[in-house]
Amino acid sequence: MGEKFQGSTMLDEEYSADPHAYHARLREERAATEVVLPRGTKAWLITRYEDARAALADPRFAKHHEHLQRVMEVSTTNPDDNGALEQSLVRHMLNMDPPDHTRLRKLVTKAFTARRVEQLRPRVQEITDGLLDAAQGAAGPVDLVDVLAFPLPITVICEMLGVPMEERDDFRAWSNTLVSDSDPAEIETAGKAMGAYLFGLVEHKRANPGDDFFSALVHASEDGDQLDQGELIAMAFLLLVAGHETTVNLIANGVYHLLRHPDQLARLRADRSLLPGAVEEFLRYESPVNYATFRYSTEDVEVGDVVIPKDSLVLVSLLSGNRDGSKFPDADRFDITRQTSGHLAFGHGIHFCLGAPLARLEGEIAVGALLDRFDLEPAEDLEGLAWRPGTLIRGLVSLPVNLSPR
Ligand code: HEM
């Protein structure tokens, strides 16, 4: 960790009041700021677009998996029986550096091709239609997070991995706890429960391979190489958490900003060819993942005029980089027709989101179907809606709307 503590920022407090204002101040002040995270850990925060993009592609900001676990005080080596399972959960590719990362990513990419994702289109449409049928039957306002944004991606990823419907509420609870700033003991309990479940799932898929995505993953091989059992558990864990915590916010944040900007909503209704660009603007303007997962400086690294010392934890803000006016002119203006290429919502570099095509597909289908079928009115003051606590994810707790069939 750094010797000198330059900032006194409590990320938690000022952040929750208004993360965009907080990041705007930091972008203005300096290239990297030392901050204290909710549980007291110090980290360096990078907020400017160019620095963020460069940091994500810089091998000097590495995962250093073993060390990262130690620094973050995450228990992965409990002497009890579940210790090995817990250890498996964090051995996923988002926590790995080359060459381990390269090997894991290569194996998974085979099972996650654009063709496989495109094959999901009719099923994603069907699930969306079913969810909207149910929402249409509800009396009074509905919470769009609850009826559409949350269940769609989770249903898709659970079907891909073969997680039965009955287990999904448990998954929601475990997954929410794991990405929250909860007590370490609670996080550990959730991790153990999830690990034990995934262990059974992998065993089942090994014995009963089907035509599904997870079976493809179990059997994916490259030059005789295969994912071992621990790696499969970790991969399933990563995909389930990614499938639970991210696309929900793409959909809900996007609809929220359309409601806040009726001119943009009207444009999109008038010209549906704008939809793919609109989804990119949702991703840029209110990025579902605020901070990319931790990096660790393997040597002193200059970021602008700041030196981040060796052995520091480093956080890269995607939410902030995407609001940097030096990259996106008038960056605080929501404009579904703007140029968004190069946005950082899916990260950058070797860890660029593997699920991006799926997230885009789900976002387009969900928002497209919603606009096809309904006129939407906010059911509560939009400015007063609550955002989820915690700093890693940027998403609304709920989005109450009145739906009138068109
Ligand atoms: C990685 C964002 C949806 C699977 C990432 C990263 C970001 C991200 C920022 C890189 C993190 C870092 O570098 O620290 C998002 C957003 C999504 C989304 C904003 C939705 C709007 C999904 C979905 C899946 C998925 C639906 C799969 C079902 C992954 C995987 C990685 C990843 C496997 C790790 C890739 C690697 O380490 O090489 N995602 N994600 N994501 N995402 Fe997503």
Specify the residue with its C-alpha closest to ligand 1, atom 4.
355
Regarding the beta carbon of 46 and ligand 1, being less than 6 Å apart is answered no
CA of 353 to the centre of ligand 1 (A): 4
Regarding the beta carbon of 321 and ligand 1, being less than 6 Å apart is answered no
pLDDT band, residue 87 (cuts 50/70/90): low
Regarding the beta carbon of 242 and ligand 1, being less than 6 Å apart is answered yes
Q: Omega before 164 cis (within 30°)? A: no
d(CA 398, CA 92): 30
Regarding the beta carbon of 358 and ligand 1, being less than 6 Å apart is answered yes
pLDDT band, residue 144 (cuts 50/70/90): very high
Say which residue, 363 or 110, is predicted with more confidence.
363
Backbone angles phi, psi at 48, to 5 degrees: -85, 150
Residue 316 CA: which ligand 1 atom is closest? 14
The two three-digit tokens of residue 136, written as one number: 């249409």
Say which residue, 38 or 350, is predicted with more confidence.
350
d(CA 114, CA 41): 39
pLDDT band, residue 336 (cuts 50/70/90): very high
Specify the residue with its C-alpha closest to ligand 1, atom 21.
247
CA of 43 to the centre of ligand 1 (A): 22
Regarding the beta carbon of 351 and ligand 1, being less than 6 Å apart is answered yes
Residue 105 CA: which ligand 1 atom is closest? 38
What pTM was computed for the model?
A: 0.92
pLDDT band, residue 283 (cuts 50/70/90): very high
Helices (H), 96-167: 100-111, 114-119, 121-137, 144, 151-161
Residues 367 and 278 sit within 8 Å (Cβ to Cβ) = yes
pLDDT of residue 68: 54
d(CA 173, CA 13): 25
Regarding the beta carbon of 239 and ligand 1, being less than 6 Å apart is answered yes
Q: What's the chain's average pLDDT?
A: 87
For the segment 43-67, the average pLDDT, to the nearest whole number, is: 91
CA of 287 to the centre of ligand 1 (A): 12
CA of 239 to the centre of ligand 1 (A): 8
pLDDT band, residue 156 (cuts 50/70/90): very high
The two three-digit tokens of residue 212, written as one number: 């599904």
pLDDT of residue 354: 94
d(CA 305, CA 132): 51
Specify the residue with its C-alpha closest to ligand 1, atom 24.
355
Regarding the beta carbon of 234 and ligand 1, being less than 6 Å apart is answered no
CA of 345 to the centre of ligand 1 (A): 9
